[in-house]
Amino acid sequence: MMKSLTALFLGTMTFAAVADDALVQRGEYLARAGDCVACHSAAGGKPFAGGLAMATPIGTIYSTNITPDKATGIGDYSYDDFQKAVRHGVAKNGDTLYPAMPYPSYAVVSDDDMKALYAYFMHGVAPVAQANKESDIPWPLSMRWPLAIWRGIFAPDVKAFQPAAQEDPALARGRYLVEGLGHCGACHTPRSITMQEKALNNGEGHDYLAGSSAPIDGWTASNLRGDNRGGLGRWSEEDLKQFLRYGRNDHTAAFGGMTEVVEHSLQYLSDEDISAIAKYLKSLGAKDANQAVFKPDDAVAQALWHGDDSQSGAAVYVDSCAACHKTDGSGYQRFYPALRGNPVVMADDPVSLIHIVLAGGTLPGVKGAPTAITMPAFGWRLNDQQVADVVNFIRGSWGNGVKTTVTAKDVAKLRKDEMLQGKQGSADIKVLEGQ
């Protein structure tokens, strides 16, 4: 009898340990889905130890240490403390978190998923003793109590996600990931003057995921709705799955902050979850249902083919861009992105295109697509007028048909911002100063 009870007790202990391991593993997957590491890890720092600088209109804030270190991290957080911070935006000491923490999105995360996340951060993450940095926001703007008012007005009540009646399970799963842990709206939804997202889900209107209204670190987040020119209307579900998984497809390649999302988050998601996200995004209607369909035009390609580079910006394009993106703007599939019909090129705001011409960028290799794609920086050898000319040429060629004009002043402003952020070197300063 005693042996039987001992065996039963040991068996129960073993099951509990296995269950805990499974919960931690589930939490790790969910932390990947939420891309927590991207914001809570500084370049060259330890994972989740915080310290990443994030520029805001009122000053710089720094992400916090969310490792289980008891002195400087969240090691003394109870589960209730943890879920209040993640879903309500309230720290253990009662302070309201800056809305750079996307708690308005996390409000829909289920209790089961929150418990798995808590298990992972308490038992699957190495503790790091690293004190949090104070923000650079000057007083009185640095006071926290106005944030509590903001939270009370704009943050939704915590209500776990519920599928709609008779909603396709895959569609519901995609909606849960996009609206919740993926917090896609935090970047891809325009914000009001009071800095809240104009919509937290598709039920609140067509502003949801219609593209950022202001640059974030020098980039604008794309329209993820079904618009024909500036959105994903011409993409298939398979195109979306390719982009989400690898950061590249036949239409474009990821840039800016999206490269980190692919590198740290999306490449690790299951095929089922990638498919669910793609299915949900393709279900979204257009922000502008009357937007004209993109129609290719080969007039510029024919002119360049016959050696006519007299159009403003054409000679710079042939010299600096055509080797990778071709004279017809078609690029090389899943490597050098097409500029012809590219939603980023045709976006209302040209800042992302100017940015990548100036500073370049790299899409790292990921599982299934191990070769990195690098766009070199041209800011060191092109002056402001040359950058403006080539950007205008790209936006107006091959059927892109963008009429708004980028000026040298527009480029100079972004170049100055790039230098202040340390993204360009001294050679760029000489170009800026005309030396």
Q: Which of 30, 121, 32, 39 is nearest to 73 (CA)?
A: 121
pLDDT of residue 159: 83
Calculate the alpha carbon distances from 269 to 1, 117, 284, 379 in Å.
47, 16, 22, 36
Beta bridge partners of 50: 41
pLDDT of residue 290: 85
Q: How far apart are CA 196 and CA 180, in angstroms?
A: 16
Q: Would you tell me how many other CB atoms lie within 10 Å of the CB of residue 166?
A: 5
- Packing angle, helices 2-33 and 111-123, rounded to 10: 100
pLDDT of residue 333: 86
Summarize pLDDT for 104-149 with one digit per residue, the tens. 999 999 999 999 999 999 999 999 999 999 888 777 767 788 888 9
Summarize pLDDT for 326-341 with one digit per residue, the tens. 999 999 988 899 999 9
Token pair recorded at residue 300: 């510029």
Q: What is the DSSP string of 390-430?
A: HHHHHHHSTT--------HHHHHHHHHHHHHTT-S-HHHHH
Token pair recorded at residue 294: 């993109």
Q: What is the DSSP string of 31-65?
A: HHHTTHHHHSB-TTS-TT-B--EEEETTEEEEPPP
Q: How far apart are CA 347 and CA 401, in angstroms?
A: 11
Q: Would you tell me how many other CB atoms lie within 10 Å of the CB of residue 41?
A: 19
Q: How far apart are CA 263 and CA 32, in angstroms?
A: 10
Q: Is the link from the previous residue into 140 a cis peptide, with omega within 30 of 0?
A: yes
pLDDT of residue 426: 36
Q: Is 325 annotated as a binding residue?
A: yes
Q: Is 187 annotated as a binding residue?
A: yes
Q: What is the DSSP string of 349-392?
A: --HHHHHHHHH-EEE--BTTB-S-EEE---TTTS-HHHHHHHHH
Q: How far apart are CA 71 and CA 64, in angstroms?
A: 13
Q: How far apart are CA 219 and CA 139, in angstroms?
A: 28
pLDDT of residue 175: 97
The pTM score is 0.88
Residue 376 and residue 429 in contact, taking contact as beta carbons nearer than 8 Å: no
Beta bridge partners of 373: 363
Beta bridge partners of 369: 366
Q: Is 123 annotated as a binding residue?
A: no
Q: Would you tell me how many other CB atoms lie within 10 Å of the CB of residue 258?
A: 19
| DSSP state for residue 224 in the 8-state scheme | -
Q: How far apart are CA 97 and CA 150, in angstroms?
A: 11
| DSSP state for residue 60 in the 8-state scheme | E
Phi, psi of 62 (to 5 degrees): -125, 135
Q: Is 324 annotated as a binding residue?
A: yes
Calculate the alpha carbon distances from 162 to 116, 167, 383 in Å.
19, 10, 53
Token pair recorded at residue 174: 């995609």
Among left, alpha and beta (phi > 0; psi -120 to 50; other), residue 205 is left
Positive or negative torsion for Cα 224, 226, 228, 232: positive
pLDDT of residue 420: 45
Per residue of the chain (435 residues), give pLDDT as tens. 444 434 444 443 443 444 489 999 999 999 999 999 999 999 899 999 999 988 776 778 899 999 999 999 999 999 999 999 999 999 999 999 988 899 999 999 999 999 999 999 999 999 999 999 988 877 776 778 888 898 999 988 888 888 889 999 999 999 999 999 999 999 999 999 888 999 999 999 999 999 987 777 778 899 999 998 889 999 999 999 999 999 999 888 998 889 999 999 999 999 999 999 999 999 999 999 888 888 999 999 999 999 999 999 999 999 999 999 999 999 998 889 999 999 889 988 999 999 999 999 999 999 999 999 999 999 999 999 999 999 999 999 999 999 889 999 999 998 987 654 555 443 343 444 343
pLDDT of residue 178: 97
pLDDT of residue 421: 53
pLDDT of residue 11: 43
Q: Is 206 annotated as a binding residue?
A: no
